[in-house]
């Protein structure tokens, strides 16, 4: 029988997941000759020689039995009639060749697998108690690779040459570590060391003894910095109020901001939080995210873990070091919060970690380079109707660099979306794929700005491309906007376009849901801050039209922000402004006088704010339609939160206090009226405050808080339905940070469903500013594809 040759080109996630070993072993099993080779575009080429019957079976099994992390974007077979040219099957040396067939990308960082964990606990295995144990199915990927193709010399593991035993594992086709690039052991791989607060290196007989020491120090009330896969955590007890308060004071801006915690297993989580089956499946997946879980009545952790909140951010161990720590601990949970100060990039260099964290008692540091920072991903599951919906607060480790699929293809061009300023995650668009980077943070510091540029360069390098055009936010004061020419010069681009913040929010939903670009939609954008086309601060907006040409047709009523950013920090300022729509200044003084003590200059400051309102004439930058600021004011009038110590705190604590009323009927039914002014719909949110003041003595805070949030959602939905009936548009897209609020979003979705409207929200990127770049780039793609 004459042999034939099949040249097979595959794209997708086919590097970094043990795909070549899988192909090799399958070929050997079927008697196929040829080779398999990694390509420079992250794809794989297979040359397979054999009988037609055998090759047909080979191709079918390649598709059916692929590795668990493998995703095929394309699978192309080119048949060649030829005389035999292969004597056996081999894994060929990787090539820088790019075939341009399909779209390939690396897998994200993958949590340690069960087989590797079993080895950690096995006295009979040589990787017992070795925290960097990994195989083809698990371990770091994005954080260790410098360039494609994914081979050890192109990763930070090039610093750790194989010992004879690891080299034998790497070359053994029957071993899990066959061509696993992060293969190592205690004899040849990275190791952990412990340093005191005086930077003195402590000596231990083994990695296990080192872990036991650190565990003892954590449980005795010490703070330990632990360098991990993509950054550095601060670890301490979840039960010790004193050490938690000390950590908050040391971190500066963490007065009340919640700390994430790591739990040994799901059984331990269920002792302090509610955990449904969907949350459990996501927690235990290879991605190992932080999930915000509702506290149970049995919550026993310190209140200082997440002060004043109804939920707590929990993750499971995802690296060997985490499992080893929690295995030795008596306490089944430990604080694992990012070590970097707010708005500053994660610390990844040992020297910087020791210098910048001078309040830490001990440092648990390893000697493997972190090539790319990668923070923990965070989300919550909101129940919308009958199903649960993922709502990202931060999309990073476990997801990056997975792309999103667009229904627009920009061909050979590459676009860059920068994002806004807060929670920044830039994105690239190549062909029909959009690739968000890891979470960068709030870009107000030079260090974070440089980190942003570095992350973009890394993605460009991985995908072997250059930028043709840039999308950015139109806010005139964002660092990403004021420096747009410098950014363009950095990437040698001569075309850049500004996009409106809230329109980008809506566009991100359209991208996720592959909306028809020629179909009109209604968009509801709810957040705290975004620069509007009229120069005021938007944040409670309704749009209609095509994604490429949205028109603002409705919004919350406009109110002033006395002091600008001071009104964000001290929500009483916003409350006073909203009260001025109904009450005289003397009446306002009587209403808020009990709260004046929360202002830095107390009664003197209150008098000054009232004087500002008396004069009026606020410039556009001090006027807003923000739903986030409205919720802050409600939090203030109910005396739930009078100072914002982290972003969104007043509104978050308002929601947290109110969620317990979901199943009760003991709350007043409120209504927020809307009107039409000059053809634009306006929701009169200031009308709610006289009713709240009237009912304060009759209802508890939680009931009133729930009533306000429910009424905001219902009233927004009713106004939107009216717009829908007038325009004939029935597809509703909802986004923005405030849409994370479960009470509000549930009410909007419920009311729109009752009126037979189709509702779409974010699930693959954050509805907050972390999803802005995806919307920007999608709008730019639509504009560019419409050019004559």
Give the residue numbers annotated as catalytic, written as ranges.
20, 38
Specify the 3-state DSSP secondary structure of 351.
helix
Find, among 582, 583, 584, 565, the residue nearest to 574 by Cα: 565
CB burial readout 654-671, b (16+ within 10 A) else e: bbbbbbebeeeeebbebe
Whole-number Å distance between alpha carbons of 25 and 90: 10
Supply angle C-alpha 213, 139, 272, rounded to 5. Answer: 60
Rounded to 5, what percent of the chain is helix, strand, coil? 35, 20, 45
Find, among 528, 538, 343, the residue nearest to 424 by Cα: 343
Distances from the Cα of 743 to the Cαs of 705, 732, 748, in angstroms?
Answer: 10, 18, 9
Q: Which residues pair with 24 in a beta bridge?
A: none
**DSSP symbols for 284-335:** TSTT--EEEEEBPTT--S-TTSSTT-SEEEEE---SHHHHHHHHH-SSSEEE
Decide the pairing of beta strands 521-531 and 731-735: parallel
Distances from the Cα of 664 to the Cαs of 204, 296, 648, 668, 692, in angstroms?
Answer: 57, 17, 26, 11, 19
Find, among 378, 363, 301, 364, the residue nearest to 332 by Cα: 301
Residue 558 has φ and ψ, to the nearest 5°, of: -80, 140
Decide: 392 and 366 in contact? Cβ < 8 Å. Answer: no
Find, among 782, 784, 787, 785, the residue nearest to 546 by Cα: 782
Whole-number Å distance between alpha carbons of 404 and 201: 45
Distances from the Cα of 337 to the Cαs of 213, 257, 276, 290, 314, in angstroms?
Answer: 20, 11, 24, 11, 11
Please, what's the largest Cα pairwise distance for the chain? 100
Whole-number Å distance between alpha carbons of 759 and 775: 18
Q: What is the 3-state secondary structure (H, E, C) of 111-155?
A: CCCHHHHHHHCCCCCCCCCCCCCCECCEECCCCCECCCCCCHHHE
Q: Which residues pair with 618 in a beta bridge?
A: none
Whole-number Å distance between alpha carbons of 173 and 498: 53
In terms of C-beta density within 10 A (0-12 exposed, 13-18 middle, 19 or more buried), how is residue 621 classed?
middle
Whole-number Å distance between alpha carbons of 495 and 493: 6
Written as six digits, the tokens of 521 are: 């939609």
Torsion of CA 108, 111, 112, 114, to 10 degrees: -110
Compute how many other C-beta atoms are within 10 angstroms of the C-beta atom of residue 594: 9
Whole-number Å distance between alpha carbons of 429 and 406: 9
CB burial readout 333-369, b (16+ within 10 A) else e: bbbbbbbbbbebbbbbebeebbebbeebbbbbbbebb
Whole-number Å distance between alpha carbons of 135 and 114: 11
Distances from the Cα of 621 to the Cαs of 79, 360, 537, 617, 748, in angstroms?
Answer: 65, 41, 6, 11, 29
Decide: 77 and 59 in contact? Cβ < 8 Å. Answer: yes
Q: Which residues pair with 46 in a beta bridge?
A: 8, 36
Supply angle C-alpha 68, 73, 79, rounded to 5. Answer: 105
Decide: 180 and 135 in contact? Cβ < 8 Å. Answer: yes
Decide: 6 and 59 in contact? Cβ < 8 Å. Answer: yes
């Amino acid at each position: 029988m004459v042999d034939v040759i099949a040249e097979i080109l595959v794209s997708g996630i086919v590097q970094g997941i043990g795909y070549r070993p899988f192909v090799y072993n399958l070929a050997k099993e079927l008697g196929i000759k040829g080779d398999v080779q990694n390509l420079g575009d992250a794809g794989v080429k297979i040359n397979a020689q054999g009988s037609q019957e055998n090759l047909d079976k080979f191709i079918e099994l390649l598709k059916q039995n692929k590795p668990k992390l493998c995703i095929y974007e394309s699978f192309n077979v080119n048949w060649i009639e030829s005389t035999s040219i292969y004597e056996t099957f081999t894994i060929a040396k990787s090539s820088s060749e790019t075939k341009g067939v399909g779209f390939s990308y690396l897998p994200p960082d993958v949590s340690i697998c069960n087989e590797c964990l079993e080895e950690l606990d096995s006295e009979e295995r040589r990787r017992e108690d070795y925290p960097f144990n990994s195989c083809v199915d698990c371990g770091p990927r994005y954080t260790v690779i410098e360039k494609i193709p994914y081979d050890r010399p192109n990763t930070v593991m090039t610093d750790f040459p194989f010992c004879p035993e690891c080299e034998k594992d790497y070359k053994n086709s029957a071993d899990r570590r066959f061509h696993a690039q992060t293969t190592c052991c205690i004899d040849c791989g990275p190791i952990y060391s412990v340093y005191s607060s005086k930077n003195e290196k402590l000596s231990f007989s083994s990695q296990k003894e080192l872990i036991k020491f650190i565990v003892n120090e954590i449980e005795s009330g010490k703070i330990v910095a632990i360098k991990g896969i993509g950054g550095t955590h601060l670890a301490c007890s979840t039960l010790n109020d004193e050490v938690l308060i000390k950590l908050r004071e040391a971190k500066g801006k963490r007065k009340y901001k919640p700390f994430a915690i790591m739990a040994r297993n799901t059984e331990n989580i269920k002792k302090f939080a509610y955990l449904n089956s969907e949350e459990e499946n996501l927690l235990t997946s290879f991605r190992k995210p932080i999930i915000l879980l509702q506290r149970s009545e049995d919550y026993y952790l310190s209140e200082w873990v997440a002060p004043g909140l109804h939920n707590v951010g929990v993750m499971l161990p995802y690296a060997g070091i985490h499992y080893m720590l929690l295995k030795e601990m008596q306490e089944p949970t430990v604080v694992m919060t990012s070590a970097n100060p707010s708005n500053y990039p994660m610390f990844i260099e040992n020297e910087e970690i020791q210098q910048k964290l001078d309040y830490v008692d001990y440092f648990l540091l390893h000697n493997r380079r972190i090539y790319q920072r990668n923070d923990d991903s965070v989300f919550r599951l909101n129940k919308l109707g009958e199903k649960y919906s993922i709502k990202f607060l931060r999309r990073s480790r476990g997801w990056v660099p997975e792309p999103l699929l667009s229904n627009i293809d920009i061909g050979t061009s590459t676009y860059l979306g920068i994002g806004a300023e807060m929670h920044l995650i830039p994105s690239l668009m190549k062909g029909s794929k959009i690739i968000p980077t890891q979470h960068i943070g709030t870009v107000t510091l030079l260090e974070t700005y440089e980190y942003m540029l570095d992350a973009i360069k890394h993605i460009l390098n991985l995908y072997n491309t250059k930028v043709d055009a840039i999308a950015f936010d139109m806010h005139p004061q964002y660092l990403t906007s004021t420096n747009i020419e410098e950014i363009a010069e950095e990437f040698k681009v001569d075309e850049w376009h500004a996009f409106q913040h809230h329109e980008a929010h809506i566009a991100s939903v359209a991208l996720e849901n592959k909306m028809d670009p020629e179909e009109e939609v209604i968009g509801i954008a709810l957040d705290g801050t975004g620069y509007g086309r009229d120069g005021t601060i938007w944040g409670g907006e309704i749009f209609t039209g095509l994604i490429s040409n949205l028109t603002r047709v409705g919004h919350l009523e406009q109110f002033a922000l006395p002091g600008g950013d001071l009104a964000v920090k001290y929500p009483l300022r916003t409350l006073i402004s909203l009260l001025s729509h109904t009450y005289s200044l003397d009446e306002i003084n009587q209403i808020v006088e009990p709260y004046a003590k929360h202002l830095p200059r107390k009664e003197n400051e209150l008098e000054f704010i009232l004087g500002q309102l008396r004069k009026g004439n606020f410039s556009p930058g001090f006027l807003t339609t923000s739903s986030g600021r409205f919720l802050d004011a409600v939090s203030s009038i109910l005396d739930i939160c009078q100072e914002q110590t982290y972003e969104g705190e007043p509104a978050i604590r308002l929601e947290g206090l109110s969620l317990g009323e979901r199943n009760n009927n003991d709350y007043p039914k409120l209504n927020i009226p809307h009107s039409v002014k000059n053809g634009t719909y306006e929701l009169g949110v200031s009308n709610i405050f006289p009713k709240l003041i009237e009912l304060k003595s009759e209802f508890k805070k939680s009931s009133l808080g729930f009533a306000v949030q429910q009424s905001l959602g219902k009233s927004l939905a009713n106004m939107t339905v009216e717009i829908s009936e007038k325009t004939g548009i029935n597809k509703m897209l909802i986004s923005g940070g405030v849409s994370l609020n479960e009470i509000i979003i549930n009410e909007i979705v419920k009311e729109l469903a009752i009126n037979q409207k189709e509702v779409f929200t974010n699930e693959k990127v954050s509805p907050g500013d972390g999803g802005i770049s995806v919307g920007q780039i999608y709008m730019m793609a639509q504009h560019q594809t419409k050019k004559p």
